[in-house]
Amino acid sequence: MAFVWALLGFAALIVLHEGGHFLAAKAVGMRVERFSLFFGPMWLRRRVGETEYGIASIPLGGYVKISGMNPEEVYTGALAERYPGGAAEDPRAYVNQPVWKRIVVIAAGPLVNLIVAFLIFAAVLNLNGLYGSGKGYVVGQVEASSPAAGHLRPGDRIVSIDGFTTPARFERAIAASRCAGGVRTDGCVATTPVAMVVLRHGRRIAFSVHPRYNASAGRFLIGFSYGPPVIHEAVSPGRAAHLSLAQMGHEIAATFHALSHLYQAKERRQLHSVAGVYVAAEQATSQGTAEGVWVLGGISLALAIVNLLPFLPLDGGHIFWALVEKVRRRRVSLATMERASWVGLALVLGLFVIGFSNDISTFIHGGNFLSGH
């Protein structure tokens, strides 16, 4: 059942993102030729008015086809009869629209993902509240002779681990650890420590801990367990909205930090491909509805951030070149944009390769994308 819910949640994020582009294009008068969930050949399709809706076979995203996204597009069928010169003659083509309309259409997809992430975080916080006085997660027991011994104490409230502020993210940060030489043997100590911040008797304490690999558990451990939350704090809708924005700010900062530090092995290990992200959503859903929904909120936010990077073929690349056109007061040639798009394609391909290799490594070492503490 977790598999089904994760698949539906993932598909919903794609539909909502593409739906943002679709609705914005319709609103400003552009022609939407196709709305597809997933990529590749369509196995289910239906035409309503001037738009063909369908479901394709490769579950790696989705797309909305708007007439004239390519300035040199040549039309076929009925459109070719009306505009034999292609997009250049079509007043409803994307390329012939004012810059502000193009930016609205392209930005609408990531904007929907930002709104979805905000609503998910706020809803979970409002419905579930906060545990541990809302200032961290309580440490129950600390194992003797473990990496945590001498650092953590029962009753400490964990504020963050490597800058992350929720147990699921704590675990992912610790799971990214590696032993010397990249070989995991029982008892080997991570070469890079994780940074921890705790509250102890009202005092904020920061320190670093080197996780240790436990072969029987199949994961890196610090050596502590969570204690029962002593206090459950209800969260009003207003405060939930405030905390949701704070969570989004932290996630955005963490994502840009990871992307700007890809030269560091530890940061590269935080990345996963679509397959890994989906499995993480499935595993979180199996732990509980709230955890699964929370992870989907993080995925929605990540989709918005990555899509807004200023490189073609990402949404941010289209926005960037529309702004360049506005500043130059003349259209940028297709050849220039195509040359620049190789940078974006190289970036996307590089991120996919890194993420997919991390997925393979995670599967080899137990397949738990949420493992760690």
Domain annotation covers residue 147: yes
If one compares 99 and 270, the residue with the highest pLDDT of the two is 99
Cis peptide before 167 (omega within 30 of 0): no
Whole-angstrom distance, CA of residue 9 vs CA of residue 73: 35
Q: Total domain count for the chain?
A: 2
Last residue of a domain, one of 233, 254, 269: 233
Domain co-membership, 275 together with 318: yes
If one compares 203 and 342, the residue with the highest pLDDT of the two is 342
Domain annotation covers residue 301: yes
Res 22 pLDDT > 90:
yes
Domain annotation covers residue 106: yes
Whole-angstrom distance, CA of residue 248 vs CA of residue 255: 10
Which pLDDT score is estimated for 285? 63
Residues 137-158 have a mean pLDDT of: 86
> Can you count the helices (H) and strands (E) in the chain?
10, 11
DSSP calls for 95-148: GGS-HHHHHHHHHHHHHHHHHHHHHHHHHHHHHH-EEGGGT-EEEEEE-TTSTT
Phi, psi of 87 (to 5 degrees): -60, -30
Domain annotation covers residue 17: no
Which pLDDT score is estimated for 316? 92
Res 83 pLDDT > 60:
yes
Report the SS3 class of residue 368. Answer: coil
Tally of residues, the chain: 373
Which has the minimum average pLDDT: 84-98, 120-134, 155-169?
Answer: 120-134
Res 201 pLDDT > 80:
no
Domain co-membership, 241 together with 305: yes
Domain annotation covers residue 56: no
In the block, which residue shows the tokens 């199949």? 218
Whole-angstrom distance, CA of residue 61 vs CA of residue 297: 17
Domain co-membership, 216 together with 257: no
If one compares 8 and 308, the residue with the highest pLDDT of the two is 308
Domain co-membership, 260 together with 358: yes
Mean pLDDT estimate for the chain? 83
Which pLDDT score is estimated for 373? 38
Domain annotation covers residue 124: yes
Domain annotation covers residue 108: yes
Which has the minimum average pLDDT: 56-60, 102-106, 195-199?
Answer: 56-60
Residues 3-27 have a mean pLDDT of: 86
Residues 142-153 have a mean pLDDT of: 88
Nearest Cα neighbor of 166 from 56, 244, 239 is: 244
**In the numeric block, which tokens belong to residue 83?**
């505009």
Which has the minimum average pLDDT: 78-92, 169-183, 234-248?
Answer: 169-183
Domain annotation covers residue 356: yes
Domain co-membership, 259 together with 113: yes
Last residue of a domain, one of 233, 260, 288: 233
Global confidence as pTM: 0.70
Percentage of the chain modeled with pLDDT above 70 = 85
Domain co-membership, 122 together with 145: no
Domain co-membership, 105 together with 250: yes
Domain co-membership, 273 together with 135: no
Residues 318-326 have a mean pLDDT of: 92
- CATH assignment at residue 143: 2.30.42.10
Q: Are the CB atoms for 235 and 243 separated by under 8 Å?
A: yes
If one compares 2 and 74, the residue with the highest pLDDT of the two is 74
- Which residue range is the domain that position 125 belongs to? 99-129+236-373
Which pLDDT score is estimated for 372? 40
Domain co-membership, 251 together with 356: yes
Question: Which residue type, as a one-letter code, is found at position 78?
Answer: A
Task: Using pLDDT thresholds of 50, 70 and 90, give the confidence band for residue 199.
Answer: confident
